[in-house]
Amino acid sequence: MPRYRYSGYRPDGTNVSGVIEASGLNDAAVRIKAESIFPSEITEPVISYKKGFFRRIDESFLPNMTRQLSILISSGVPLIEALHSLSSENKGFYRDMLTAIKERVSGGAGLYRALEDFGDYFPEFYINMVQAGEQSGTLDKVLGRLADFLESQSSIKSKVRSSMIYPVFMMGVSIVVLSFLFTFVIPKIVRIFTDMKAALPFMTLALIFVSNIFMHYWWLMLGVFAGLFFSGRRFIKGHRLLIDGLILKLPGNIIQSLYHARFARTLGFLIEGGLPMLRALRLSAGSMGNRALERSVLKAEEMVAGGQRLSASLEKFPPVFIQLISTGEKSGRLAETLNRAADSYEEDFRRKVDRAVSVFEPAMILFMGLVVGLIVLAVLLPMFQLNQLIR
């Protein structure tokens, strides 16, 4: 439970202060009075609302909490009691955060106002949707839609991560194996060639050179890789728009399908939830993760505000996507059309990822076979020369 610091006085007039655990301010006051203390001040627990460097965000928290809150409210449980139940079920920071939200709501603030204090944990579109649900009296339905949306986005993220596990594992194993070969195995094999007076083949000399680097300058290699890594990160942050523009031109359209799916899903969800088109466009622009497309959508927002149709304002999107939006605008079913487009692009993204992973395995095997073949050839060539000299 959160810990509250209090000060007050006893019936005999003596001052007293201390710390007490309670589920909220009201509960703290009740507990203090039960000890025959008249509180004059109760300080709320201090909670850091910002993301800490060492605080990892549990990505399953928001979808699960939203789903549970939706079920509780739709079942007739008052909002304050529902928040109390959720805070009791969680631990640590999330428990304190839900308790603080419950106290704000108990004090008369709207739920969306309480969520604004935790903007690092509740996205802007989430707060806007909760506000629309409270104002329309359909908070339980809005929370249900939010849970569906968040679970769908979480599923896409899980797909990306699970697809990356195998390639990263294979690359790691390859690096370890090659490092072991060049550091411990190859030096012992090529040692017999170093005393040869005959000229060694170029491949053997290159192999000895690389092996010496791994043996004597491994620290320099680590420094170079670390420098390249941090320099690359800094360059990408400073030239994000340029990098994102180049990503859109990559062959295969794998990541592009993900961007289009995110935009269509978020925009369709927000329009279906009752948000105005301009507000929905601005929130959807930041959901894609690509600055070039984000700038295109924000430019389209300005054109839509000037009276143009969305389908005539969007750039950098494929013609089929634009045509789907145009059809949705003409039929008056834009949200439904966008959701269908999102389903199509998400499925297309999954197929392309599966295909890329299936190609990666034989490619890595071929690469390792090629490297090992070159090593074997570099070792055998001097042996063949030595055999010729003996003859």
Q: For 220-254, what is the HEC assignment?
A: HHHHHHHHHHHHHHHHHHHCHHHHHHHHCCCCCCH
Helical axes 202-216 vs 218-238, angle rounded to 10°: 80
Tell whether the model's pLDDT for residue 53 goes beyond 50: no
- Residue 71: what pLDDT? 92
Residue at 101 is within a domain = no
Q: Is residue 257 part of a domain?
A: yes
Q: Does residue 382 fall inside a structural domain?
A: yes
Reading the block at residue 160, the tokens are 């990306």
Q: What is the pLDDT of residue 337?
A: 92
pLDDT of residue 196: 62
Is a pLDDT exceeding 70 seen at residue 48?
Answer: no
From 351, 359, 364, select the one nearest 168 (Cα to Cα).
Answer: 364
pLDDT of residue 117: 81
Determine what percent of the chain is predicted with pLDDT higher than 70: 91
Q: What's the total number of domains in the chain? A: 2
Tell me what the pLDDT averaged over the chain comes to: 81
Q: Is residue 52 part of a domain?
A: no
In a domain, 33, yes or no: yes
In this predicted model, which residue has the larger pLDDT, 342 or 18?
Answer: 342
The residue range of the domain holding 382 is 190-391
Q: Which of 348, 344, 335, 353 is nearest to 266 (CA)?
A: 335
Residue appearing with tokens 């359209």:
253
> Does 148 map to a domain?
no
- Among 32, 34, 35, 38, which residue's Cα sits nearest to residue 20? 32
Predicted confidence (pLDDT) at residue 170 exceeds the cutoff of 60: yes
Tens digit of each residue's pLDDT (9 = 90 or more) over 59-96? 788 899 999 999 999 888 889 899 989 988 888 788 88
- At 82, the amino acid letter reads A
54 pLDDT band, cuts 50/70/90, is very low
Q: What is the pLDDT of residue 69?
A: 92
**Among 182-196, 255-269, 322-336, where is mean pLDDT lowest?**
182-196
With a pLDDT cut of 90, the percent of the chain lying above it is 5
Q: Tell me if 180 is assigned to some domain.
A: no
Whether 84 maps to a domain, the answer reads: no
CATH of the domain at 361: 1.20.81.30
Q: pLDDT at residue 160 above 80?
A: no
pLDDT higher than threshold 60 for residue 1:
no
107 backbone dihedrals φ, ψ, rounded to 5°: -80, 0
DSSP SS3 for 316 = coil
Query: What does the pLDDT average to over 254-277?
Result: 85
- At residue 391 the predicted structure's pLDDT band, cuts being 50, 70 and 90, is low
Q: What is the pLDDT of residue 51?
A: 53
